[in-house]
Amino acid sequence: MAPESTRSRLLAAARDHYLEVGPAGFSLREVARRTSLTPAAIYRHYDGKDALLGAVCAEGFRVFASYLMTSLAEATPAARLRAAGQQYLRFGLERPRDYRVIFMREHEGAGELRIDPATLPPTFEFLVDRVRDSLGARPGRPRRGDDPRACALSIWAHVHGLVSLRLAGHLAEAGDDRAFTATYTRSVDALLAGLGL
């Protein structure tokens, strides 16, 4: 594995280059130029373009997961679920390049950033667990149709839509990030209330 400083430089340069040109235009030669390395030096750390892009994606999810994990400090299942939603937004606003590369790029053709199609990322399973815990802690008997995975998918689609629209510049009328956070919180709270969470 690359020394940490070299690895960090390579991953940041590869991420930014990928965001600029997409999979078709991505070039190890350009990553080498941006990091003052030779293409051969990159091959000493990664087996090729796909391996480097896979590492970029894995690093993005690692950082994202570190945000989500802070929600576990909350005292109740409902509070942990809501905190996870806030951490999703925080990650998007504080790490927009990482957010874009793992959630907003078209993944097509050679050199794409791939998630194993047989599984959703572990961060989705984290959300499923928060939903399952919240459903289990709810007073009264479970309602018909309570499905933690289906609820989690609805929540993910909702928060992803809001954050992605914000990062794409489509929700500028919501105001600055503080004002948008208030709008986001009201919207997510309404969704969770509708889901009985």
Across 21-30, 70-79, 113-122, 147-156, which has the greatest mean pLDDT?
Answer: 70-79
- E strand or H helix that includes residue 90: helix 77-94
pLDDT value for 3: 59
pLDDT value of residue 6: 85
- Give CA–CA dist 110/179, Å, rounded: 40
108 has a pLDDT exceeding 60: no
pLDDT for the residue numbered 34:
95
H/E segment holding residue 126: helix 122-137
**CA count, 13 A, side-chain hemisphere, 124:** 15
Q: Which residue has the higher pLDDT, 114 or 66?
A: 66
pLDDT at residue 114 above 60?
A: no
Q: Is the model more confident about 87 or about 3?
A: 87
Indicate the Cα dihedral angle 176, 65, 86, 164, nearest 10°. Answer: 50
Q: What is the pLDDT confidence band of residue 120, given thresholds at 50, 70 and 90?
A: low
Domain topology for 4-194: Tetracycline Repressor; domain 2 (1.10.357)
Confidence check: pLDDT of 12 > 90 = yes
Q: Kindly report, residue by residue over 34-77, the tens digit of the pLDDT.
A: 999 988 889 888 988 889 998 998 899 999 999 999 999 999 99
**Domain residue ranges of the chain, discontinuous segments joined by +:** 4-194
User: Can you spell out the DSSP letters for 96-107?
Assistant: HHHHHHHHTS--
Q: pLDDT grade, residue 88 (50/70/90)?
A: very high
pTM: 0.84
Instruction: Taking residues 8-35, report their average pLDDT.
Output: 92
Each residue's pLDDT tens digit, 132-157: 999 887 766 556 558 899 999 999 99
Average pLDDT of the residues of the chain? 87
Q: How confident is the model at residue 162 (pLDDT cuts 50, 70, 90)?
A: very high
Distance CA 145, CA 27 (A): 48
